[in-house]
A and B are shown apart, each in its own frame.
Chain A
């Protein structure tokens, strides 16, 4: 029997492997369906990765390269072109050129990342012509496959991937006509608004959405319109753009088909498994980290979180214990979700990550245990796009932990 199987060789899988190894586990296997380790980082050729971890600005492939080197130095085993098709407690089944293999293992770390929301989920009227891409697909086509995606482009959604692609397309000679965002604020980082849009005078239309796509075989144009508070288009505010390409940057969803097969409980808010402070799911010996758990915008936090999962999987393998004695973490006013959702009563110090549900300025984050205030942190600004965290010292948690925003 193996000690640890890690599903996915992206930022999360690599970091989890290194930390499990450094915690004393030797018999580790990373299973990756792509022909390379590194995950989504391989297509993120822009810089801005690793400021927190390495104190320098790396590109995605460079950041992945650092962790791949760590994995190779430790001689951690990995299988490429191997796709996991089933997970059961202590069993992982994958398909590769050797056929179907089932590994029996003491622990499993889920690190499958996320995928983009498909357009089907968006009710944009019109035909379904060629020239409509999700932003991440366009990123892969340009940066890995080397294709030209389009010449005149409109982008729906102002998440970071959309902003990064606006600059990337402009540098490659395309004209980005507009970025439309249905919310009254951008979901992307300020830095990306400035360096990807403002630098190239690309207009950002907040509270706008695409109302029509024209063209039968290839996109010929799109119409965008302003929306009211209930996100309904306002007649008379339409603007037409002649373009051959529409990019959709409308959010990411954790990739959890396998977690479901394993029987793990998923959170309806994060789309990822419900976990405790050790990042253990509710299935014995199955841990999760990275975008499969909740969508991260900073890879540094993915690496940090995955290192925690690796360490805890190691101590689970070595001691075999699994405590059921937990308290709940409750997202209160202004908090959309927390990870973890449970804390062991004897957990010691714990970091809770969360996202707020709206933009707040000069607000206070209050953390309570029952009625008791554990912490109050003043924040000049809180935004849904920036993941927040609070550290709790422990050592003991006796009542429910509540986190809320006070304005």
Chain B
């Protein structure tokens, strides 16, 4: 099996091909430098993303509180995590860095406030 990726480690944006067999990487080609290979391996074997969104608030001048997942979650957990985010409602005070949900959707990552919430 072959996977085609665009390296995002620098503006050059090399097109990288990863040859796979039984879940193992056979070859990585198309990258111009070693960073590209590192990116491609991570992206094929264990792709991760930071999810950023907002949660509902009560009793605050702010209608939404911005949040993010820390550390990055597996890419295929993005929508399960969004479902959890949608259920949250927070009240002030909240400060940047406060944990809103521990171990969100069983990812091992926390949902953390990226803004302050005042009354």
Contacts and interface: CB of A to CB of B under 8 A. Distances in A.
Interface stretch (A6-14, A55-63, A228-236, A331-339): A55-63
Contacts of B50: 47, 57
Contacts of B17: none
B64 A59 contact: no
A217 interface: no
A101 interface: no
Contacts of A45: 52-54, 66, 68, 114-115
Interface string B1-15: 000001010011100
Interface stretch (A115-123, A140-148, A155-163): A140-148
Interface in A143-200: 143-146, 168, 171-172, 189-191, 193-195, 198-199
B102 interface: no
A61 B114 CA distance: 6
Interface in A47-86: 47, 57-59, 61-62, 65
B81 to A, nearest CB: 9
Contact of B78 (A57, A144, A171, A191): A171
Contact of A194 (B8, B54, B116): B8
Instruction: Assign chain B's interface to a size class.
Output: 20 to 34
A28 to B, nearest CB: 23
B49 interface: yes
A380 interface: yes
Contacts of B82: 171-172
B63 A59 contact: no
27 contacts: A45-B52, A45-B66, A45-B115, A46-B52, A47-B52, A57-B50, A58-B114, A59-B52, A59-B66, A59-B114, A61-B96, A62-B96, A62-B114, A65-B115, A144-B63, A168-B53, A172-B53, A190-B13, A191-B8, A193-B6, A194-B8, A195-B49, A199-B49, A199-B75, A381-B12, A381-B13, A386-B11
